[in-house]
Amino acid sequence: RGPARNSTKSNAKTMRAARALLGKALVIIEHNNKAVSTPSLSAVGAASKLGDVTALVAGKGCGAVAEQASKLKGVSSVLAVDSAEYEHGLPENLAALVKKVQDDKKFSHIVAAHSSFGKSVLPRVAAQFDCAIIADVIGIKDETTFVRSTYAGNALATVKSAKDPIKFLSVRPTSFEKAAAGGSAKVESVAATGETGLSKWLSEEVDTSGKVDLTAARVVISGGRGLKNGDNFKMLYEMATKIGNAAVGATRAVVDAGYVPNDMQVGQTGKIVAPELYIAVGLSGAIQHLAGMKDSKVIACINTDAEAPIFTVSDYGLVEDLFTAVPAMMKKL
Amino acid sequence: CNHFFALLQDLSSHKMKALVALKRVIDYTVKVRVRPDKLGVVKDNVKHSCNPFDEIAVEQAVRFKEAKKVTEIVAVSVGGPKTVEILRGSALALGVDKAILIKLPKDDSEVEPLAVAKILKGIVEKVKPDFVLTGKQAIDDDSCAVPQMLASMLGWSQGTFLSSVAIEGKAATISRETDVGIQKLEIKLPAVFSCDLRLNEPRYAKLPEIMKAKKKPLEEIDVAKTGVDVTPRLQIVQVSDPPTRAAGKKVKTADELVDKLKNEAKVL
């Protein structure tokens, strides 16, 4: 009739633990048909806080991705489908698939990274189910309470989702630990839902130079207008190579000016990074740029303008011409 | 014979209509502050303007009109009474033909993306555009959801984060900015497009257009009349400031910087 007195404490603890993880989460895995993307590893990490995690891997010739997903800690099952219509991550085709999977399996949470892929697909699915989307989640308090970033990270909103039967979450990769290898889930095949014919992939320009992934690098060195042109970014690429596991980022201004490609943009509407060390070179630190890097562990900056806003978030600030400072730093590295 | 050719020409240059959706937001230069009651941000007496990404959408629509791809542009916004200023100043004054305000009770009223998408769906059904153009995200809420939700509700294609768009008959060829580079797609019309930074550089309104804007039709529809339930799905428990960083220090030389990063911060 009730727990025996001397085991009340351990029963309560077990009950608390059971209550803590009641969710059944589906993670829509982003990949390039060869490996799970770094942001998705964090999405799995985030989803593990909610309960059982099922990874959905849809692509073409993506067996290796399904295999890798099945070996991630926290993943209890993998749903995989290999079909041409999913090869390039077209949202119209993927949304139809997720709808079918959800209708069959009834997850309580559907999760994706808040990346260009996740942003494209997840809201489309949420609308199909007449549910809200909780975007850019930086914290999970429990299965219904989440913290999300708004106003370029200047206002953090804690929201509770009590009305929607399915919680749709796009999570900020830098806020959640990446799922490590160490699991052993079964891979189950699911039926393809077909080509919607609404969009057609033509081509893709992907930077294949083997640069370190900006969102995964331990160190990020970013350049702004102070660099003056794209050629001068060579200094930063060299510094990144010297430091190792370092990537080069950029401000919106220099991407707009064509100095560097768009996938290097760090900021509110570019990439959000939170490396161990962020070195801001020749950039002033506009609100929108700070939004993309102010959670970095250590921030250093080099700028000739001592009043530049970047100094207000920097742990170490050097007021000097970057064309002298960067070479001087290189000698000491 | 002439009549026949004129008819052919008319059929081949189908008159396209564009719907542009925009939002009145706190200006991007403002340093946003959390309210003392911790349930929102301070909006009173704070500068507001058109969401920058929506300005890019307006500009794109106007360019299509100038290139004779589109013959009519309608702008729509869901917002409080002051949103008319944005519709006049950032849409009608730039070449948009008519505007619709779905009026919320107050200027600081907030509506979730799901409800905005439903309202816009109703407007699409009324206006019957060939495509919808809007910004990729609103810089206040940062959800980046409305365009995709709207496309989903309409069963239309979506082209998000556009860095280029060309319309040819019943399809559009687009370039999208992704996390790894640029993706080129062919999108069937009708479609919902969301515009990214490098799609174009919006023009400034010129005086003759600003004057003309005063006479262009601007319809106000109370949100209650749309039949859409705008009750929020999410409850705001708290709005807080981001964590503050401890004050840093200035170093005197590059050598000192490297030394501190190696030996003090231990990150190099």
* pLDDT single digits (tens) A49-88: 999 999 999 999 999 999 999 999 999 999 999 999 999 9
Q: What is the pLDDT of residue A12?
A: 58
Substitution target from A140, A150, A310 for chain B, most B beta carbons within 10 A: A150
Q: How many CB atoms lie within 10 A of CB A104?
A: 11
Q: What is the pLDDT of residue B8?
A: 57
- Asked whether this complex has an ipTM greater than 0.90, the answer is yes
Closest chain B C-alpha to A165 CA, distance in angstroms? 11
Closest chain A C-alpha to B106 CA, distance in angstroms? 20
**Cβ–Cβ < 8 Å for A5, A35:** no
Give the tens place of pLDDT for each residue, A196-232.
999 999 999 987 666 788 988 999 999 999 999 999 9
Q: What is the pLDDT of residue A4?
A: 47
Q: What is the pLDDT of residue B95?
A: 96
Q: What is the pLDDT of residue B9?
A: 53
Q: Taking Cα atoms as reference points, which of B109, B178, B243 lies closest to residue A153?
A: B243
Give the tens place of pLDDT for each residue, B58-94.
999 999 999 999 999 999 999 999 999 999 999 999 9
Query: Checking phi first, is residue B228 left (phi over 0); if not, alpha (psi -120 to 50) or beta?
Result: beta
Count of H-run helices and E-run strands, chain A: 10, 15
Element (H, E) at A58: strand A51-59
For A160, name the nearest residue in chain B, comparing CA atoms only: B235
Q: Which positions in chain A touch B41 (Cβ < 8 Å)?
A: 151, 154-155
Q: What is the pLDDT of residue B66?
A: 97
Confidence of residue B35 (pLDDT cuts 50, 70, 90): very high
Give the tens place of pLDDT for each residue, A237-279.
999 999 999 999 999 999 999 999 999 999 998 999 999 999 9
Q: What is the largest CA-CA distance in chain A?
A: 78
**Cβ–Cβ < 8 Å for A270, A297:** no
The whole-chain average pLDDT of chain B stands at: 95
Q: Do A198 and B187 touch (CB under 8 A)?
A: yes
Say if residue A167's pLDDT is above 70. yes
Chain A (151-210) residues lying within 8 Å, Cβ to Cβ, of chain B:
151-164, 197-207
Closest chain A C-alpha to B6 CA, distance in angstroms? 32
Burial (Cβ within 10 Å: 0-12, 13-18, ≥19) of residue B245? middle
Say if residue A13's pLDDT is above 70. no
Report the percentage of chain A scoring pLDDT > 90: 90
Say if residue B10's pLDDT is above 80. no
Confidence of residue A2 (pLDDT cuts 50, 70, 90): very low
Q: What is the dihedral of CA A86, A91, A92, A96, to 10 degrees?
A: 70
Confidence of residue A1 (pLDDT cuts 50, 70, 90): very low
Q: What is the pLDDT of residue A33?
A: 95
Q: How many CB atoms lie within 10 A of CB B150?
A: 28
Residue with tokens 């917002």: B79
Q: Is B237 on the interface with A (CB under 8 A)?
A: yes
Q: What is the pLDDT of residue A9?
A: 58
Q: What is the pLDDT of residue A280?
A: 98
Say if residue B114's pLDDT is above 80. yes
Amino acid of residue A15:
M
Is the overall model pTM greater than 0.95, yes or no? no
B242 closest CB neighbour out of A135, A153, A206? A153
Q: What is the pLDDT of residue A212?
A: 84
